[in-house]
Amino acid sequence: MKIAILPGDGIGTEIVAEAVKVLNVLDLPFEMETALVGGAAYEAHGHPLPDSTLNLAKAADAVLFGAVGDWKYDKLERSLRPEQAILGLRKNLGLFANFRPAICYEQLTHASSLKPELVAGLDILIIRELTGDIYFGQPRGRRIAVDGHFPGAEEAFDTMRYSRPEIERIAHVAFKAARLRDKRVTSVDKANVLETFQLWKDVVTEVGKEYPDVALDHMYVDNAAMQLVKAPKKFDVMVTGNMFGDILSDAAAMLTGSIGMLPSASLNANNQGLYEPSHGSAPDIAGQGIANPLATILSAAMMLRYSLNQAQAADRIESAVSAVLSAGYRTVDIASEGTTRVGTREMGDAVVAAL
């Protein structure tokens, strides 16, 4: 079981170290190799995703990823900015299926900005298509407009696109995931305005016929954003495109109040996957030893389950995290009165102890 360890920037190094510590306790035959990515790789090699890092990731069964990005790279040209590393990994590894759970842990219900009764027990799975849509669609660029409101003016443009098989495969992922849960899929589109999402809706509907045991409904993206705020518990599995998924999955994660707890998985057709916390690189608190490592530790659990076929070890980690929360250990982002404040390393140690 080959794992590429890519800590990245900001708090990335600190939180990934704790996840590695947890993996090491499991006594499974992992081969781990570490490489630079993002701003750290740019500093060392002049590129956020050097070939050596990409090749390591390609050769691995799974990638454990920390986070990338820092304000200090904002002035670089886009192709050299840290975020390009994550886009490059998604594209080159074909990681089309992004799993973003939005779970509200019983012990952390109070941390949500929503009223407790609206989020207690919340458990949504957002499935975001990750290699298509306007993120990668060609053509794109700048040019002089030949039509539109201001012909002759400078304009910039991007292309949104989805093909039938791209939609089919992510729809299958969503329906299969729903079968292991509450058997309900909400497909989010903007079919009333976009050609791309009319095809999306048509194809998801067709694929849904193969899953008569799963209830399918369709929702416009603006309405989905409203319903997430109003009554998030109504959702089970939500499936959508890359751009809408970017927005909705972050909104849903923040609704839980504990984004520092939320893992994610990005898989390709062979179940090779990249696993990373849902939160970012938080350069403002990097190096202080206070970041919450649990989202990364839970990402390692997802890795065991989805890419490494070690469901039992994944269960053990998840139970250990739950035990640590119940014991009252909290990093600053999820702290509340009457709990025990710990740093990044102590939180990792607590999970190891619980294992």
Judge whether 134 is annotated as a binding position: no
CA angle centred on 226, ends 224 and 230, rounded to 5°: 115
Partnered with residue 277 across adjacent β-strands are: 263
Give residue for tokens 């999970």: 351
Contacts (Cβ under 8 Å, ≥6 apart) of 97 = 127, 129, 130, 169, 170, 173, 266, 267, 268
Closest CA to 122 of 235, 1, 263: 235
134 binds, among a second copy, ligand IPM, none (CB under 5 to 8 A by kind): a second copy
Tell me which of 29, 46, 165, 212 binds a second copy, using CB under 8 A: 165
Peptide bond into 139 cis (omega under 30): yes
212 annotated to a ligand binding site: no
In the complex, the smallest distance separating the C-beta of residue 132 from ligand IPM, rounded to whole angstroms, is 12
Our finding on whether 192 is near ligand IPM (CB under 6 A) is yes
Which listed option, a second copy, ligand IPM, none, makes contact with residue 113 (CB within 5 to 8 Å by class)? a second copy
Is 161 a residue that touches a second copy (CB under 8 A)?
A: yes
**Would you give the distance in Å from CA 99 to the centre of its chain?**
6
Was 290 annotated as part of a binding site?
A: yes
- Which one, 6 or 214, has the nearer CB to ligand IPM? 6
Helix (H, G, I), strand (E, B) or coil at 294: helix
Active site residue ranges: 135, 190, 222, 246, 250
Query: CA-based Rg of the chain, rounded to a whole angstrom?
Result: 20
Instruction: Write the binding mask 121 to 160 for a second copy: x where contact by CB under 8 A, - elsewhere.
Output: ----------xx-xxxxx-xxx--x-xxxx--xxxxxxxx
Structure tokens at 306: 């989805």
Work out whether 205 is an interface residue with a second copy (CB under 8 A). no
- 222 counts as binding ligand IPM under rule CB under 6 A: yes
* Residue 284 assigned to a binding site: yes
Q: Which residues are annotated as a binding site?
A: 90, 100, 128, 222, 246, 250, 280-292
Q: Which residues are annotated as a binding site for NAD(+)?
A: 280-292
